[in-house]
Every structure is written in C-alpha cells, then in structure tokens.
Amino acid sequence: MKIHMLRMKFLIMILLFIIPCSANLAKVGRASNQDKEKRIPFPEIKGWKILEEYPVYSPHNLWDYINGAADAYLSYEFEKLFIAEYIKGKNQSIKVEIYQHKTPVFAYGIYSQERSADYHFIPIGMQGYSEESLLHFIQDKYYIKINSVSGKTKNDKDIRIIAKEVSKTLGGEKELPEAVSWFPEDNKIQYSGKFIAKGFLGHEFLNEVFTAEYSVGNNIFSLFIIHREEPTGCKKIISDYYRFLKKQEEPDEGYQLINDPYNGKIMMIWEDNFICGIFNLDDEKLGKEYLELIKERIN
C-alpha cells in the first residue's frame, strides 16, 4: 500500500513538471512561428552570405534603431522594419533596410521627405536614387535603403545587383501613387513632389496632402491636392479653415480665396471629393489657370 502511494506521488510530481514545460514549449513554438511570419524573405545572391540577426522593429521600438528620425516615420504609418546584411569575403558588407508602411502612399510620403531633387535617380521600383555607397527606392508599401557598411565594394555594381533582387522578391506595386500624375507637367520642378502626412502649412486640419513645386518666370510656387473618399471630407477641411479664420458662413463647392495670416494668399478649388490649391503665388489669374489644369487632369 505504501509503495503504491509512493508511486502515485511520484507520477503526480512528474505530471506537475511536464505540463508547464509542455505549455512553455508550445509558447516557444508559437513565438517562433510568429517571428517567421513577421519576417520578409531576403533573396539569396550568389557569392554573398546573408546575416539576418537583427530584430524586426515595430512602432514600439523603432527609436532603438533610428532614434530621432522615428517620429517622422511613425507619422507616415510605419509598421515594421526588416534588416539584413549581405557579406562577401572578410571586409565587404552591404546592409538592406526594408521599412514597411501601411500603404504605398505613406511609403512614397516618407521617401519624398528624404530625397532631394539633385540626387541621381534610377529606374527601380516606383522610383529610386543612388549616391556614393547607397541606393534608396520605394516599391509598393516598402521604402528600401541599401547602404555599404564596410570594405571597398564595387558600390554601383554590388548594391544595384542586391537592389534588383530585393525588388524582384518584394513584388507588388511599381507605379507612383495616382495623385502624382494629376499635377500638370509644364513648368513643374522635377522630383519636387511630396506627400505630407500631417500638419500641412502648419495646420492640424490639413493632412494627407500631395504637393509639387513650379517655376514660371520669376514665380516659384506650389500646387497641392487633397483627395477624400467622400465630399463631406473636403467640406470639413474647408469648414475647419473657415473656423480658423473666424469666418461664420458655411463653405460651398467652387473657388476659395483664403487669406491665411501665416501663409499668405491660398487659392483653392473644392469640387466633389477633391481640393486643389496653390500657395506662394500672388498672381491670381495664373493661379486659377493652374487650378483648372489640375481639375482637367483629375477628371
């Protein structure tokens, strides 16, 4: 009887040990599977070893990697950052950073904030540019940065090979957001287009705005386009602008002339679910001509 009781106690102790261990192993397995699901596959490239020991960064810990720049990325609906290094020999290393955003528009937006019109642009993805020891481009909802980390690599050749393979692996959209094509081409300053996620012209009610700069004679000015799903979204923007200016009336569709105390004369046309605008231009006749050109391209 005593032996039987001892055996029962021993079995119970074993079960108490095994059950938590099994649960923990299951959790580890699930975590491992989730980690694999989170990662983007980096392409195998002949002659290069891939090092993927970096964590996958999220909005919660992006500051750990890019610190001061994190807020800007978060304002463009950043979701994840995937990193890998391509290593060749003892002293050649090229790092690939893939920033995933909520939509292709937001990826274009953060890219547009960091590029300069005098960069060397190349045909890759939606758009890209290369400078010494780096190549940056956008594709679908990804902003990709490829940089030489160490060693004397044949930068143009090696970095471009890796960039092309990464582009093939990512797939997805390779055309710039449709709104970019709505800006008239005549007199547009090349590569001046931007997408402003928040606080356009310093106003909290002006968000998700496409812009482009123009040069006509002695005038350098900017056009902007706001697109909303419904006309009510545009009406709210104009109404908020009116309240900021302490205007009591309700806005109607059509031409709007705003005398902004901080930004000067703002010319706008509200039609349906679009607002087209222009600023840094005093010539109202020229402004209206360009606003009509945008309307034609949208319609």
What single string gives the DSSP state of each residue in 245-279? TT--SPP-SEEEEEEETTTEEEEEEEETTEEEEEE
Is 140's pLDDT higher than 60?
yes
Q: Which of 121, 96, 125, 100 is nearest to 110 (CA)?
A: 100
More confident call, 140 vs 25: 140
Domain limits, the chain: 49-170, 178-298
Whether 178-298 and 49-170 are alike in CATH topology: the answer is: yes
pLDDT in tens, 40-70: 889 999 999 999 999 999 999 999 999 889 9
Quick one: CA torsion of 182, 209, 200, 271, rounded to 10 degrees? 70
Is 198's pLDDT higher than 80?
yes
Torsion angles phi and psi, residue 104, rounded to 5: -60, -30
How far is CA 229 from each of CA 233, 234, 255, 275, 282, rounded to the nearest angstrom?
Answer: 7, 9, 20, 12, 31
Give the per-residue pLDDT at 28. Answer: 38
Tell me, which fold does domain 49-170 have in CATH?
Protein Transport Mog1p; Chain A (3.40.1000)
Adjacency order of strands within the sheet including 209-216: 194-196, 209-216, 219-227, 274-279, 264-271, 254-260
Q: What is the CATH number of domain 178-298?
A: 3.40.1000.20
Which pTM value belongs to this model? 0.84
Residue 90 CB coordination number (10 Å): 8
pLDDT in tens, 79-109: 999 999 999 988 889 999 999 999 999 999 9
